[in-house]
Amino acid sequence: MADEQVIRLLEEIRDLQKVHVENYKDALKNQQEAIAIQKQAVRRQRITLVLLGGFVLICLIYLAWSSH
């Protein structure tokens, strides 16, 4: 009788560990997706800053040129 209880307990522990591993895999996948999204956002921000900086530079050149 005690052996059956131990076996059931060990099987339950094994099953819970399997579920834990699957949840951990899902969490890692979600983290990887979040990192990829953040990298895309950083790329867009850099492009926007470069374009904005170029626009400001062009405006400054125009103002300097027109004041002469």
**pLDDT tens digits, 3-16:** 999 999 999 999 99
DSSP E strands in 1-68: the ranges are none
pLDDT band at 68 (very low <50, low <70, confident <90, very high): confident
What digits encode the pLDDT tens for the residues 15-45? 999 999 999 999 999 999 999 999 999 999 9
Taken as a whole, the chain contains a residue count of 68
Q: Render 27-42 in DSSP notation, one character per residue.
A: HHHHHHHHHHHHHHHH
pTM: 0.67
Give the count of alpha carbons within 13 A of 59, CB side only. 6
